[in-house]
Structures are given as C-alpha cells and as structure tokens.
C-alpha cells in the first residue's frame, strides 16, 4: 500500500459545513463521501457511547475497523442533545453550518426540538437530510428494520439465489449504501445547488426502501411491461442464462462469465468448439440446462486463473471471483489507488479504502484521520465562544 499525500488546491465541496448526527453505515458512508470532496464534517456523538460503528468488530487497537474505514476527514464532538445546555450548543452550531444529516426514526428530531421547521428558524439556509428505512410517511414510517428488511420488502431480495436455495442474504449492504447513502449524497448536492439559486435550504427525506425500489428498473420491466414475475435463477441476468453466470473451476476457484453482446458469445463458442451455440445465446429450458452443464464441466477441467487467461486472450468478458485479499492486491485496484494508508493518533498506520470518483480539477483528498470520540469538542466549543471554564461546567453537567 502507498501513503497518499495531502492534495493541494480547491476541492469541490470546500467551504460546505456538515453536522453528522448519524450512527450507522448509511449516514457514515454519505458524510465520508462528502468529506472526501472537501466538506467539513463534524460528527455529533452521544457522550460515552458515540457512533455505534465504534463498537463493531474487528477492533484494531482501540477503534473498530469499520469505524476507521467510514470516518476519515471528519471531526468529532460529544453532545447530549437531551440536555438543555447541550441543545444550546447544537443551536449555535446549526446557525453556522450548511447541512444537518440524521438517521433517527421519524419524529425523533422533532421531540428533541430540532425538526426541520425549528432548524430553519435558526438558519433559513440549512439543508436537513433524514435517512430512514421507510421515509417520513406511509404505514411503515415507524417500523424497525435494517438493510435485509428493506431488500426483502422491496422485491430485491428474492432476486438473489435460485429456486432451489430460495432467497439468500446478500454479501453487501445494498439498501443501506445504494438506497440510503448514495441517495442522500444525491439529495444533499441537489439541495445545495438549489440553495445557491433560490437562497434558502430545504428538507430531504431519504428512504432506503424507496432507494432500493428504484434499482428495480431492469427486472421491474419484466413485471411492468411483460407481466413476468422475476425470480432469482429464472431470468437471464439473475442466474438463468449460461452466458451470464458463475462457474466453479478445477482448483476450487470460480469465474464470472458476463457475456451480453453477440460477438463475445460467438468468440466463446469458437474457443470451446461449440459453433452450433452461436444462434442460441439466450437459450431457455432444456437447451439452457445442457449449455450450463457442458460449460460447468468444461470450466472444472482447469484451474480458475488458466481459464481467465485463456478467455481474456480472446477478449471475452470474464473475471475471477476474487477473495477480498485478492481484490485489494489486484493490479487494477493498485493502479486506481483503491487502498492507501494514513496515520492515526492512536491506531498508528491504518489502511483506508480509496476514493471511488476521480475528479480532474477538484480531486477527493485525505485530510484527516478518523476522529477519536469527542476529540474536537474543546476546539469546536471554543470557536463558538465557550471558555475553558464553560466547557468544564458543561462536562460536569453531562451536557457534552
């Protein structure tokens, strides 16, 4: 891994200040993506406990590995939002910041006295973003849930697996990140642009359920336009097509075959000596079963990497099913800077996942290591005009 030097020059979101009240993956990912682009993100954490991610295994020295990968470029203060003096600190912060992001259930911010109507009284330009499972209205608005539940309810979960296995647990938090984090980033950026044009902020209601439903365009078309209910293993791009599938190889590894275009399929057919298959790329039923069984037997005849090299040589869409270790070490990941190291005041040298978007003029940059719990409390309160004596009193009264 290489150490990334701090980039110089203007960043896209430089000057934007964000208050992050979130405690789990959706909010943490959202605010880190914004922070990487130059936004000043201040985590507002519960005294003593902080972000729930801090306690998730594996623990490195003192901090959670997942916390360390989700919170670079942020500062942290501790603040008791149920304490009146803690509320007053937050009011002062809202007046000076641009965005508030929270991930509580609907109604919690109102009960704390910080619903959007109150926030905009403090700062008419504030952009407030709520990330929740089911949104701020509807019969499930108060329902508990996590990523797997949103995937299940949306119709997305049953696309994973086969008729034999039934739905399986996806290996990634797709609804959390794809339906929550990324949609929140999208909404916040849109609201900031609108504020520049209109002069006022607005409220953003992000539902992870809503977000993942919008991912159903490809398979939703089967139902909406053809009346076909798509299920895992029964439609072309979710396990039914031999040309678009995963195969085990002779050494126990696996490869992915991702052939859509006809010319790629024809190359494969020539390579494996099956010219009669060229006109039957999207075979179904017994024909598809025969193709799949022949391809399965063929790929089991040699090790994974041998097959990958052979198919890459004829420019067929193929990729090894990598372990995480293999993925991080892959030359493509190295070339794209997808893993680097930074220094942390307690953890020492720690790995970081690289920046997913490369901007030519205002690139993402590493500025700060993930913060310790409350690391910047005194600094931030001092900037608000609190004296050292004031801060001691607030701490004694458990307001911070």
Which listed residue (20, 51, 98, 176) is catalytic?
Answer: 176
Residues pairing with 102 in the sheet: 130
Measured CA distances, 282 to 150, 227, 261, 285, 287 (Å): 31, 19, 11, 10, 9
Give dist(CA 79, CA 223) in Å, integer.
49
Please give the angle made by the CA atoms of 348, 359 and 327, to the nearest 5 degrees: 55
Q: Token pair of 268, please?
A: 């494969």
Q: Is 369 left (phi over 0), alpha (psi -120 to 50) or beta?
A: beta
Query: What are the backbone angles phi and psi of residue 33, rounded to the nearest 5°?
Result: -60, -40
Q: Is 398 left (phi over 0), alpha (psi -120 to 50) or beta?
A: left
Residue 176 appears among annotated catalytic residues: yes
Q: Which of the residues are catalytic?
A: 176
């Amino acid at each position: 891994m290489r150490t990334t030097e701090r980039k110089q020059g203007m960043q896209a979101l430089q000057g934007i200040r964000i208050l992050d009240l979130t405690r789990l993956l959706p909010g943490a990912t959202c605010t880190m993506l914004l922070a990487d682009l130059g936004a000043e993100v201040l985590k507002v954490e519960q005294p003593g406990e902080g972000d729930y991610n801090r306690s998730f295994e594996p623990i490195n020295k003192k901090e959670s590995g997942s916390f360390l990968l989700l919170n670079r470029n942020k500062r942290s203060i501790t603040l008791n939002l149920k304490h009146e003096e803690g509320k007053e600190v937050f009011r002062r912060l809202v007046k000076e910041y641009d965005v508030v992001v929270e991930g509580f259930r609907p109604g919690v911010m109102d009960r704390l006295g910080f619903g959007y109507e109150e926030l905009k009284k403090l700062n008419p330009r504030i952009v407030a973003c709520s990330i929740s499972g089911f949104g701020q209205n509807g019969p499930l608005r108060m329902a508990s849930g996590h990523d797997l539940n949103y995937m299940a309810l949306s119709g997305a979960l049953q696309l994973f697996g086969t008729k034999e296995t039934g739905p399986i647990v996806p290996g990634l938090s797709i609804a959390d990140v794809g339906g929550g984090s990324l949609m929140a980033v999208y909404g916040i950026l849109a609201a900031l642009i609108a504020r520049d044009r209109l002069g006022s902020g607005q409220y953003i209601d992000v539902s992870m359920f809503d977000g993942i439903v919008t991912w159903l365009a490809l398979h939703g078309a089967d139902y909406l336009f053809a009346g076909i209910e798509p299920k895992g293993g029964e439609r072309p791009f979710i396990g039914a097509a031999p040309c678009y599938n995963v195969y085990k190889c002779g050494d126990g590894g696996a490869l992915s075959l991702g052939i859509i275009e006809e010319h790629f399929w024809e190359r494969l057919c020539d390579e494996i000596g099956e010219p009669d298959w060229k006109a039957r790329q999207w075979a179904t039923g017994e024909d598809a079963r025969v193709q799949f069984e022949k391809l399965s037997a063929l790929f089991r005849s040699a090790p994974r990497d041998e097959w990958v090299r052979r198919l890459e040589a004829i420019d067929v869409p193929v990729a090894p099913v990598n372990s995480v270790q293999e993925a991080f070490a892959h030359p493509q990941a190295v070339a794209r800077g997808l893993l680097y190291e930074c220094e942390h005041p307690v953890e020492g040298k720690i790995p970081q996942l690289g920046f997913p978007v490369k901007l030519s003029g205002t690139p993402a940059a590493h500025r700060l290591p993930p913060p310790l719990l409350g690391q910047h409390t005194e600094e931030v309160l001092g900037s608000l005009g609190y004296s050292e004596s004031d801060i001691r009193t607030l701490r004694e009264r458990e307001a911070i």
